[in-house]
Chain A
Amino acid sequence: MPVKGFQRHPYIPNSVPAVETEMLRELGLRSLEELHEEVPDEIVLKRPMALPEAFGSEYELRRHVEGLLRRNRSCADNLCFLGAGCYQHYVPAICDEINGKGEFLTAYGGESYNDFGRFQALFEFESLMAELVDMEVVNVPTMDYAQAAATAIRMGCRVAGRRGVLVPASMDREKLAVIRNYCTPDLELREVAFDKTTGCMDLADLRAKLSGDTGVVYLENPVYFGMFERNAREIAEAAHSAGAQCVVGVDPITLGVVAPPRAYGADIVCGDVQPLGIHMNYGGGQSGFMATMDDPKYVLEFPSRLFGICCTETPGEYAFADVAYDRTSFGHLRDQAKEYVGTQTALWGITAGVYLATMGPEGMRQVGETILQNAQYAAQKLAALPGVSLRFDTPFFEEFVLDFGGTGKTVAEINRALLARGIFGGLDLSNVFPALNGCAMYCVTEVHTKEDIDTLIHALREILQEGAE
């Protein structure tokens, strides 16, 4: 079967036959087949690709994709209590308005001149995040929390000149897998146990594992299980006294009310900006950041773009450009640069900047307080259900682990019953952490009204009673 083209496709102006012929003639060619003369015949595909035919109209395409998406059940139409790294928060309308602007949506690698706004918006993202995390240098965002943590760990090990890394055994298994892949074979990761009562890092195990080879101690606050790391200061002190760097992973939406990690000894801070005005997007809204103080010892270890402010030839005018560009693999050093850089998640950085500028200090305080109140209320009520208890006794931010062990039902059974009622129950931790069989992690934020939480409580009470009957 001969391979055919697609004349007059709306996305391909020069597929108009008359234009195509004129351009071919300009090249001394008669047909499109005479192009690709450099591709040897033995590897030319001589059949049409086995792909579905194009839709006949934009309308048909839209109907088709809408039909597929209708098979999804979204958190807009159901009550969602899942967190675990991706969070449902309210996205102010202005965030979508800005990141939907075609100029931002379709820009890419322009210069400071023609992409001035992109540079400024990302410089402002860095600057707004620096205020929130109380650091001086923040990067143009990387992939996600896991990548940010992996890079922060590598940065810390380069600063320390060592290759040992201690990470909490409580951390997200998938995040750990990303870090492990990114740090192997150069670094050696070991896990530090968590206290089975508090969920926080086990200090005795930390002290036992710290050594002269430890380059980085990584901790999270909140801990993956949701609680505040009550040992954060002691962990940082222990790291520093062993000559290691302290890297802290943080959820930035906590920081309107929670102390920034530098206050308890962080050298490098990392995290994900998805909570800051970015929809969940089935995990496509993740966007990582790293932050340090303005010390070249740290700044020169960033692999990411760092947009800085500069002067122009015109007095009173400012502009933006890359700081210490040759750090990056875009510079002259290639494999000898700091890790690598490339397309990551810039549009989400711009969006997080819009969010922080819109929320301001009061908005960040209020959202933090509201989340705490709603989550505490939910936890209190849920733990009062028969057979249900809070697994850990440490204060938490928006996530908490419920132990359903006393209910006679598995988390999977409970979640199936919740799903039938339009509720996405907490993440099942059974089979993920051996110590947490029968436990689920719930997430409650400012988007959950009292009615939403009461609906969950009512549903769970019913479901648990069904078993008792």
Chain B
Amino acid sequence: MKKIDRSAKVRTGFHQAKWDEPVIFELSQPGERGVLVNRAHPEVAAAVPGLDAIPAFLRRAEAPALPEISQPRVLRHYARLAQETLGADVNIEIGQGTCTVKYSPKVNDQLANLPQMREMHPLQDESTCQGIMEIMYRTGEYMCEISGMDRFTFQPGGGSQGILAMASLVYSYFKARGEEAQRNEIITTIYSHPSDAAAPHVKGFKIVYLHPDADGYPDYEALKAAVSERTAAFFVANPEDTGVYNKNVLQFTRLVHEAGGLCAYDQANANGLLGVTRAREAGFDMCFFNLHKTFSTPHGCGGPACGAVGCTAALEAFLPAPLIRFDGTTYRYDYGNAANPNGIGKIREFNGVAPVILKAYAWIRSLGPEGLYQVAKTAVLNNNYLFKKLMELPCVDAPYIPGRQRVEQCRYTLETLYRETGVGTADVQRRMMDFGLHYWTSHHPYYVPEPMTLEPTETPSKADIDEYIETLKYVFDEAYRDPDKFKHAPYQSVCHRLDESNMDDPDQWAVTWRCYLKKFR
């Protein structure tokens, strides 16, 4: 035995779990069973017609071709697939800019799995739901304090559905004034989330895009030219995906209000602002928070989630029903809004994704006002530390406000690296997988060339951030030294470089196993 050298800062020895696991249908062995199903009592079965009651044309002629697999094999299959997934529990999650992937405390998951949460039917009598109703009511109050809004709904099941709910509020507001046909434009920006354009379009709005000015702020002159008697609302994130905070935001919201429009704040990027600044003071009429981002509830591969929408008192009557009221002793559902002919009515079935609300509640209670403020400050500190270190690298740049602070994230450009080596952001992304690190480019289209969007949040340590920086440096150095290496990356991830040539070809794409078998066997 001798001293073991542990000085390396980059995990060159990493290899992600790779199981070469078959597609589940290939595991089928006729006769195997995964679970024994509860059957009817013999006296019950004897007393009723059972399957014979189904109208003849509705009886299933052939059993579904589901696989037949024993329980240990099903478990092993999915346990292996889980190992082949780089969740935030195992990854230094700095690479998923705009999505605030932070630590999701385990105690909150355990609380949400208690039978008094999990085994609750949403239509139970209110007297049997006072615990969860109190949690939802109080969380609504906290959201009001954090945003300055007057009332929240937790119905939207994700951020994009939250944006749809905001667009629906806008529609309702103008419908109540008989102006819904005239006020049919929503103004957004190219650096706000794509859903700020796509979801309002579903509500029938025409979308007007603002491009950034030289500082990266939405172009105020363009806004002046865009607002008119057709303007229904301004939908914007601040900071936008660039991490640049629009310091003139009040000017923007005032201008839109003067034109008779409403202002909707996409607060998917709120993590750096908790306790620092709020939607109300910035002039917004409504906003939404992603509980699965800023408020730590796990992303679950993309939901279940919650896009909590808040609004001012002037818009409350349009919110989806029900709202929760509290009279000092009892919580009850108020369905009054359902009767509002101009109201939204309903955004999602029942009363929101309750376990997600519970987890957000527990997270807020574990931090308190000082902790939430610390979250914002540390998230911004981490990001500006990362920003400074990366901007010292000659091949990295970031457009707009040079030398000034970003909020909680930044969209960088690797244009120089690409020009000098031929290695672009997609190549760097694949190579980063070889070191166990996730890395994200940008939404489409790429307005910033060769984009790299990073958001450290408050939950990695300095050592974690340094590891991410060191690994990026290693990869950039390699791009100059051995650019060919990138052509076939990754090497140590779960699979090798994809051939996606079939993905847009109807004759070759295969969304299911049965399509694959039909086309290729």
Contacts and interface: CB of A to CB of B under 8 A. Distances in A.
A268 interface: no
A6 to B, nearest CB: 4
Contacts of A433: none
B367 interface: yes
B219 interface: no
Contact of A74 (B119, B244, B445, B512): B119
Nearest to A345: B303
A115 to B, nearest CB: 5
B404 to A, nearest CB: 7
Given A116-B495, A255-B60, A108 B345 contact: no
Contacts of B430: 111, 113
A194 interface: no
B222 interface: no
A335 B119 contact: no
B131 A71 contact: yes
Top 7 A-B residue pairs of the complex, sorted by shortest distance between their CB atoms: A342-B160, A283-B350, A54-B368, A283-B122, A358-B34, A329-B198, A347-B300
Given A48-B373, A281-B118, A342-B195, 8 more contacts: A11-B103, A36-B272, A62-B110, A65-B362, A73-B116, A181-B168, A284-B352, A296-B506
Given A36-B407, A131-B65, A281-B118, A107 B37 contact: no
B124 interface: yes
B39 A366 contact: yes
B411 interface: no
Interface string B122-159: 11110111111011000000100110000000000111
Interface string B86-123: 11111100001001010111010111011111111111
B443 A343 contact: no
B324 interface: no
Contacts of A130: 512-515
Interface stretch (A238-246, A373-381, A403-411, A461-469): A373-381
B499 to A, nearest CB: 4
A121 B84 CA distance: 10
Interface string A265-299: 00000000000000111111111000000101001
Nearest to B430: A113
Contact of A108 (B96, B131, B443, B512): B96
Interface string A338-370: 011111111110100110111111111111111
Interface string B21-41: 101110000001111011111
Contacts of A105: 87, 89, 104, 109, 298, 300
A419 to B, nearest CB: 6
Given A40-B250, A178-B346, A312 B366 contact: no
Given A330-B443, A337-B198, A350-B301, A178 B348 contact: yes
23 contacts: A14-B460, A27-B381, A35-B405, A43-B278, A72-B120, A94-B74, A110-B86, A117-B80, A128-B67, A174-B346, A228-B58, A257-B54, A279-B119, A294-B511, A318-B23, A342-B158, A342-B161, A343-B303, A346-B300, A350-B301, A358-B35, A360-B66, A360-B69
B118 A279 contact: yes
Contacts of B77: 357
Interface centre among A48, A70, A309 (most CB of B within 10 A): A309
B333 interface: no
B221 interface: no
A74 B433 contact: no
Interface in A417-469: 419, 424, 427, 446-447, 449-450, 453
Nearest to A62: B107
B418 to A, nearest CB: 19
Nearest to B120: A282
Contact of B111 (A9, A65, A94, A419): A65
A423 to B, nearest CB: 11
A6 B365 CA distance: 13
Interface in A154-174: 172, 174
Interface string A92-108: 10101111111111111
B303 A76 contact: no
Contacts of A74: 115-120
B493 interface: yes
Contacts of B373: 3-6, 48-49
Contacts of B85: 103-104, 107, 110, 114-118, 121
Interface residues of A, number: 215
B370 A359 contact: no
Q: How large is the interface on B (under 10, 10 to 19, 20 to 34, 35 or more residues)?
A: 35 or more
Nearest to A8: B374
Nearest to B111: A65
A51 interface: yes
B55 interface: yes
B113 A100 contact: yes
Interface stretch (B5-13, B43-51, B309-317, B477-485): B43-51
A96 B320 CA distance: 31
B101 A108 contact: yes
A110 B438 contact: yes
Interface stretch (B199-207, B223-231, B255-263): B199-207
B332 interface: no
A208 interface: no
A83 B367 CA distance: 38
Contact of B362 (A61, A294, A307, A341): A61
Contacts of A283: 122, 349-354
B372 interface: yes
A360 B58 contact: no
B382 A101 contact: no
A90 B37 CA distance: 9
A375 B353 CA distance: 29
A346 B498 contact: no
A205 interface: no
Given A120-B23, A357-B77, A310 B349 contact: no
B377 A35 contact: yes
A98 B74 CA distance: 10
B180 interface: yes
A90 B444 CA distance: 42
Contacts of B416: none
Interface string A28-72: 000010011111101111001111111100100110111011111
B347 interface: yes
A198 B163 CA distance: 41
B244 A38 contact: yes
Nearest to A375: B48
Contact of B515 (A38, A120, A136, A232): A136
A340 B202 contact: yes
Contacts of A94: 34-35, 71, 74-75, 78
B24 A111 contact: no
